[in-house]
């Protein structure tokens, strides 16, 4: 975890990467170069292995940020006369609803409170109420508040009822366990710059091969045609259009480090420790978490903003940044919050340093994190 003097990103992607990952970008690659194309193929193989997909699943990489890959998954997997159920407990679920509307796919927007997880029972009830639904689009960790949804419960309901399942595992892939044996899905989307700890610029969709074959001719968009990207790669080993070469090289290095660390269980253990150190430290300063611990994923933590009337996020952000740490604004509609990511090439010591930086920021700005509670107690 050797770094330079840049501030530490406590944001859920882009995030802080290791020096080894950054160094992997110090070379230019040609898109026809066989050694580059071998890297792409090796990455795809490794990504399928992360979910135990074996020979039944394939990974299709796609240029762009994570949303491009989510949009591609919906546009390829859901037929034009399909109907998508989106259990909506946050900003990234809401984005999927928007994507469906852009693509002209019928959508059922099912509101779920932002501090509560989606469960198999939530989905079963919605499917009972509307037999016309063909697919469920489920966000695994809703990065808006940081809630962990019950993906396995949802997948089992979808399988039992013969419904397609598209998973947005953007902020959970490689950190939280996902195995196709217990959590079968049609398509799962994630990206290079999240828990794999690569740099941003490449999304990917892991699809059941039988589903991928059925996608031929379904895409609304040439650039996002996953079936075409896959067939072309199978035939030529190349990307259809200019590949994000440096991103791919960095991802190869990041996946090697992921394996060296001990894969998904080790990554989850580190992020869980990061999250614990952060929450314990922030609570000792008087901050309150938005979510109860039972539904908190160890990915990103939403804290209530200090109740002090002098608090302004921008000043708080700037003062913490001066101390070396970049926080993230809240993404909730009803309450004022800020977020702190636990992911990236950082460890629990770093999280304790973050808490010290926040304590210094409170003192420097003359703020009290727990003013509301003190007033109540008085
Ligand atoms: C759950 C989830 N879905 C989708 C996205 C969108 O990814 P991007 O901002 O890379 O387009 C994010 C980004 O953090 C996310 O956390």
**Using CA atoms, how far apart are residues 355 and 280, in angstroms rounded to an integer?**
9
Four-residue CA torsion sign, 251, 252, 257, 258:
positive
User: Is 168's C-beta closer than 6 angstroms to any atom of ligand 1?
Assistant: yes
Residue 143: partners with Cβ closer than 8 Å, 6 or more residues away: 12, 90, 91, 92, 170, 171, 299, 300, 331
**Ligand 1 centroid – CA 236 distance (Å):** 30
CA of 201 to the centre of ligand 1 (A): 12
Q: What residue owns the CA closest to ligand 1's atom 12?
A: 170
- Please report the atom of ligand 1 found closest to the CA of residue 194: 14
**What does each of the 378 residues of the chain score in pLDDT, given as a tens digit?**
545 678 999 998 899 999 999 999 999 999 999 999 999 999 999 999 999 999 999 999 999 999 999 999 999 999 999 999 999 999 999 999 999 999 999 999 999 999 999 999 999 999 999 999 999 999 999 999 999 999 999 999 999 999 999 999 999 999 999 999 999 999 999 999 999 999 999 999 999 999 999 999 999 999 999 999 999 999 999 999 999 999 999 999 999 999 999 999 999 999 999 999 999 999 999 999 999 999 999 999 999 999 899 999 999 999 999 999 999 999 887 889 999 999 999 999 999 999 999 999 999 999 987 754 554 444
SS (H, E, C) 12-36: CCCCCCCHHHHHCCCCCCCCCCHHH
pTM summary value: 0.96
Instruction: Report how far ligand 1's centroid is from the alpha carbon of 170 (Å).
Output: 6
CATH number attached to the domain at 19-260: 3.40.640.10
Contact 173, 194 (CB under 8 A): yes
Contact 96, 139 (CB under 8 A): yes
Phi then psi for residue 108, to 5 deg, are -110, 115
Q: Is 170 in the pocket of ligand 1 (CB under 6 A)?
A: yes
- Of ligand 1's listed atoms, the one at least distance from the Cα of 200 is 10
Token pair, residue 199, equals 């740099």
- Using the mean position of ligand 1's atoms as its centre, give its distance from the Cα of residue 362 in Å: 30
Asked if domains 19-260 and 263-377 share a fold, the reply is no
Task: List the beta strands (DSSP E) in 75-174.
Answer: 83-88, 106-111, 135-139, 141-142, 147-148, 164-168
* Environment class of 196 (CB within 10 Å of its CB; exposed 0-12, middle 13-18, buried 19+): buried
Q: Where are the domains of the chain?
A: 19-260, 263-377
Paired with 164 in beta bridges are 135
Q: 263-377: what CATH class? A: alpha beta
């Amino acid at each position: 975890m050797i770094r330079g003097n840049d501030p530490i990103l406590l944001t859920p992607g882009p995030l802080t990467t290791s020096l080894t990952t950054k160094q992997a970008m110090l070379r230019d690659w040609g898109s026809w170069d066989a050694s580059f194309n071998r890297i792409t193929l090796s990455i795809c193989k490794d990504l399928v292995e992360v979910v135990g997909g074996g020979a039944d699943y394939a990974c299709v990489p796609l240029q762009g940020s994570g949303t491009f890959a989510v949009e591609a998954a919906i546009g390829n997997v859901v037929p034009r006369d399909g109907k998508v159920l989106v259990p909506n407990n946050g900003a990234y679920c809401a984005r999927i609803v928007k994507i469906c509307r852009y693509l002209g796919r019928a959508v059922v927007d099912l509101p779920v409170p932002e501090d509560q997880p989606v469960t198999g029972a939530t989905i079963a009830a919605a499917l009972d109420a509307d037999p016309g639904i063909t697919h469920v689009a489920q966000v695994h960790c809703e990065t808006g508040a940081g809630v962990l949804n019950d993906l396995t419960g949802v997948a089992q309901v979808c399988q039992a009822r013969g419904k397609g399942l598209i998973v947005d595992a953007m902020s959970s892939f490689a950190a939280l366990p996902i195995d196709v044996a217990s959590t079968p899905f049609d398509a799962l989307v994630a990206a290079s710059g999240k828990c794999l700890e690569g740099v941003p610029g490449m999304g990917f969709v892991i699809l059941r091969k039988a589903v991928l074959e059925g996608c031929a001719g379904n895409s609304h968009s040439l650039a996002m045609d996953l079936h075409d990207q896959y067939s072309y790669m199978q035939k030529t080993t190349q990307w259809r259009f200019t590949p994000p070469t440096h991103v791919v090289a960095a991802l190869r290095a990041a996946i090697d480090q992921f394996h060296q660390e001990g894969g998904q269980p080790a990554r989850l253990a580190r992020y869980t420790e990061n999250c614990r150190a952060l929450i314990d430290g922030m609570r000792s300063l008087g901050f309150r978490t938005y979510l109860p611990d039972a539904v908190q994923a160890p990915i990103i933590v939403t804290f209530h903003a200090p109740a002090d009337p002098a608090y302004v996020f921008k000043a708080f952000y700037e003062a913490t940044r001066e101390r070396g740490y970049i926080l993230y604004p809240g993404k909730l509609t009803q309450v004022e919050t800020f977020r702190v990511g636990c992911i990236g090439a950082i460890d629990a010591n770093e999280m304790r340093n973050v808490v010290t930086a926040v304590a210094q920021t409170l003192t420097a700005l003359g703020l009290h994190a727990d003013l509301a509670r003190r007033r109540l107690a008085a």
